[in-house]
Amino acid sequence: MKLLSILALLALATAALGARLPETSAVARTFSDDENESLNQYIKALLENLKEEMPNGIPDLNIPPLEPLHLPEIYADIEEGMAKVRLHMLDLLIEGLSGFVVREVKGDLNTMSFSLDLFLPEITGQSYYDMDGKVLIFPLYGRGMAGLKVNDLHFKGTARIVIKDMESIQLDHFNIHVEFSQIQIYLENIVGGGNLGNVVNTLLNMLGKLLYDKFRDQILPPLNNIIKNALNEQLAKIKLSDLIGGIGRAPRSRFSVSPVQDSVNTYVDMLMENLRPFMRDNGMDPLSLPNLSTSFSKKIWFVTWRGGASISQGQLRSLSSIHRTGNFGLDQSGNRLTIDGSVGVNQLWGSFRALAWFMSIRISAGIQLTVQRIRVRARLHADVSDLKAVLDLFKISEISNIGVKVSGLGPLNWILGPIATLVVNGVRGKIAQAIESPVKAKVNELLQNLQMPNFSQMH
């Protein structure tokens, strides 16, 4: 039900605006384009505020934390053609939902309907899975950790809202359409792991989008009904009078967005959209990490023994999911326009290979790496005479929660500390080196072919 909170908020906002008018007026009156545009701006403002509040939730609106989205348990019995599979997932964590970009919102108060198009650069998921079944004559089984990444996700939805007896709200039509560029799947220990498991994982990655496209028409209609029925069940519990009182009296500054603010955000979103493929095509995703080494010592009885560790083949993924993380500010001083704010990425992941030695022991190990979030302060300026923008500041302000998990050290497990420190320090430096100067240079290259809107004329 957590995921439905986003959709419910949209439905409540639209219904609240329409419900402010008496029933007779709603029948007799035709709403203008300007009034419908007010609805669009209202919903956009709700979404922008929701994006900022997703990590903490909004208790006043009964919306729990949605970033990351935690789904405690999922059961699925799949019987389709030659496939019969039982799947059980525990503690599914989905990251990246707060990175959505609002591509389009179209509301119509005359029909009490709206549509929207959301774009997510990337979402990732991880959970524990237990699977058993077969495809054709081939057994498909396994249990362990599961990883999922979806790139360039489009979520398009339409809905029609009905006010019943001026007391409650219901949806009589709901339709969603989902598209994405690629999906990557990793199932630990699938068909026992090893080389065969690697082959199965490779096939799953190759066929992921193809399988979705094949079964999309069978997947989406039931999903539409599930979401619609669940929303209507929750909406039926809310009195229209409470809804109008709750949202209608909310401080305007919290839910309003000016045309200027909307235009600034759209401009930055367009820059990020042009930047993402450049990062994927120029060695930034995956990002190669430097080879690193460290030494250590341990005293056994009266003898000091020395050892060391080296790490190599490092890669970090998901930098190209960079996106705007909040509203960008606008300032004008004379003829100079300045916009500034924050962009960033969430939930990066990667790996290293490690070699450790001590006394006569030499052990190879694997390192899994995660970075919860990166935030970058960005500032652009332009002269109103030519509106050619320049990015003069692009500097990392936050790199949070670098996680390091080492497996396979066995008797050398006690050297985890030095290895983790080595990885954390090396990754921090490489991220700053890779992001700040190269990305700043690329954005300035993009800006040469883009004219900044004259925001000063929108006031």
How many Å apart are CA 101 and CA 455, to the nearest integer? Answer: 20
- 8 A C-beta contact, residue 19 and residue 244: yes
How many Å apart are CA 138 and CA 132, to the nearest integer? Answer: 11
Which ranges in 129-258 belong to alpha helices (H)? Answer: 194-235, 240-248, 252-255
- The reply to whether 291 and 324 lie within a common domain is yes
Q: Give how far Cα 128 sits from Cα of 89, 171, 269, 271, 336, Å.
A: 6, 35, 34, 37, 53
φ, ψ of residue 16 to 5 degrees: the values are: -65, -40
What string of DSSP letters covers 52-118? HHTTT-BGGGTBPP-SSEEEEEEEEEEEETTEEEEEEEEEEEEE-GGG-EEEEEEEETTTTEEEEEE
- The reply to whether 146 and 281 lie within a common domain is no
User: What pLDDT score was predicted for residue 251?
Assistant: 38
Query: How is residue 222 written in tokens?
Result: 């039931």
- The reply to whether 149 and 274 lie within a common domain is no
How many Å apart are CA 110 and CA 128, to the nearest integer? Answer: 47
How many Å apart are CA 51 and CA 100, to the nearest integer? Answer: 8
- The reply to whether 276 and 249 lie within a common domain is no
User: What pLDDT score was predicted for residue 12?
Assistant: 57
- The reply to whether 32 and 173 lie within a common domain is yes
- The reply to whether 114 and 52 lie within a common domain is yes
Domain final residue, candidates 207, 222, 257: 257
How many Å apart are CA 363 and CA 356, to the nearest integer? Answer: 5
Domain final residue, candidates 205, 227, 257: 257
- The reply to whether 235 and 345 lie within a common domain is no
SS (H, E, C) 387-427: CECEEEEEEEEEEEEEEEEEECCHHHHHHHHHHHHHHHHHH
Query: How is residue 450 written in tokens?
Result: 């883009």
CATH of the domain at 235: 3.15.10.30
- The reply to whether 290 and 384 lie within a common domain is yes
- The reply to whether 299 and 228 lie within a common domain is no
- The reply to whether 173 and 190 lie within a common domain is yes
Domain tally, the chain: 2
CATH of the domain at 405: 3.15.10.50
User: What pLDDT score was predicted for residue 376?
Assistant: 93
- The reply to whether 372 and 272 lie within a common domain is yes
pLDDT tens series, the chain, 459 aa? 444 555 555 665 565 555 544 443 444 467 777 777 776 777 777 777 777 777 777 676 666 777 777 778 877 777 766 678 888 888 888 888 877 888 887 877 777 777 888 888 888 888 889 989 887 777 888 888 888 888 888 888 888 877 776 677 777 777 888 888 778 888 888 888 878 888 888 877 777 777 677 667 766 776 677 667 766 776 676 666 655 544 444 434 333 456 787 788 888 988 888 888 888 888 888 888 889 898 887 776 767 778 889 999 988 888 888 888 878 888 888 888 999 999 988 878 888 888 998 887 888 888 888 888 899 999 999 988 888 899 999 999 999 888 888 888 887 887 888 888 888 888 888 888 888 888 888 888 888 887 788 776 655
Query: How is residue 230 written in tokens?
Result: 């669940």
How many Å apart are CA 3 and CA 66, to the nearest integer? Answer: 7
93's torsion region: left (phi>0), alpha (psi -120 to 50) or beta? beta
Domain final residue, candidates 200, 233, 257: 257
- The reply to whether 61 and 163 lie within a common domain is yes
Which domain range does residue 277 map to?
261-458
